[in-house]
Amino acid sequence: MRIVTSAAAMQCLALRWRRTGTRVGFVPTMGYLHDGHLSLVSRARRLVGKRGIVVASIYVNPTQFAPTEDLSAYPRDLDRDKALCRKAGVDVLFLPSDTEMYPGRDAGGYSTYVVEEKLSQGMEGGARPTHFRGVTTVVAKLFNLVLPDVAVLGAKDWQQAAILRRMVRDLNFPLKLVVAPTLREKDGLAMSSRNKYLSTEERSQATILYRALKLAKEVVLSSRAPNYADVLKKELAALIATQPAARLDYVEFFDGETLQPTTSVTRDTHMALAVFIGKTRLIDNAELR
């Protein structure tokens, strides 16, 4: 496995692959890898084949964190991540620094950002107003440096995946974006680097997100008529409130493509929620079918 830290060197490699017709699969991550990330690497390998190149990046992107959020505390274990990437069959691991990704930013000399103006307004965008500007900017930069034929994302943040799909379409990135299913622990909790923050008791209570998704599915699947979103939200809020460490940030029902909120919940509806478990904010989503 080759390790690259320079943005220029990464782009030089990518241009060489493009000239030789080598297919490139890309998995962008913020590190502290788990089996969910590794499943994306496996998916990328299947998509580009044995003769293709699989690139993974590890970069904790500062521009998607608000000043009050957990940038400095975000879990990191680079040695472990390198070993996992090597074992998973990553060909090139891209490890850029802040200086490489945002030259001059500390001195106020970086001023170009990518902004999606429609899909990013609700849910995570409402709770974290500057978050998606950071996500779209860093992913656009990574796409320009890695020049992948296909990029693989996880479905745990459905809104983020939808926004990046829209960015790829609107800005004419010549790549295919694949969204792979969320991997879960045996008790249903979605795999996440932030799960490390949870105490033993909080980890037990964190399954409330999955239980809320299951309850919403059960209600929808057992109903012949559409359900009112406001009524179902109250039922889910009451369920989440049964856990002492849990505090609901939001629950939303929406169209899975347009992300437009819906007042009527059916089997075609998508659901997303964010819940604080203690100080740790977790997200999850599912289609209600």
Q: Which of the residues are catalytic? A: 37
Residue 261 pairs in a beta bridge with 254
Yes or no: say if 156 and 192 are a contact pair by the CB < 8 Å rule: yes
Closest to 249 (Cα-Cα) out of 199, 197, 209: 209
User: Amino acid letter at 107?
Assistant: A
- The CA distance from 88 to 210, in Å, is 28
- The CA distance from 81 to 89, in Å, is 12
Yes or no: say if 113 and 138 are a contact pair by the CB < 8 Å rule: no
- The CA distance from 90 to 84, in Å, is 9
User: Amino acid letter at 149?
Assistant: D
Task: List C-alpha distances in Å: 126 to 130, 154, 263.
Answer: 9, 21, 18
Q: What are phi and psi of 48, to 5 degrees?
A: -100, -15
- The CA distance from 165 to 193, in Å, is 23
Yes or no: say if 272 and 254 are a contact pair by the CB < 8 Å rule: yes
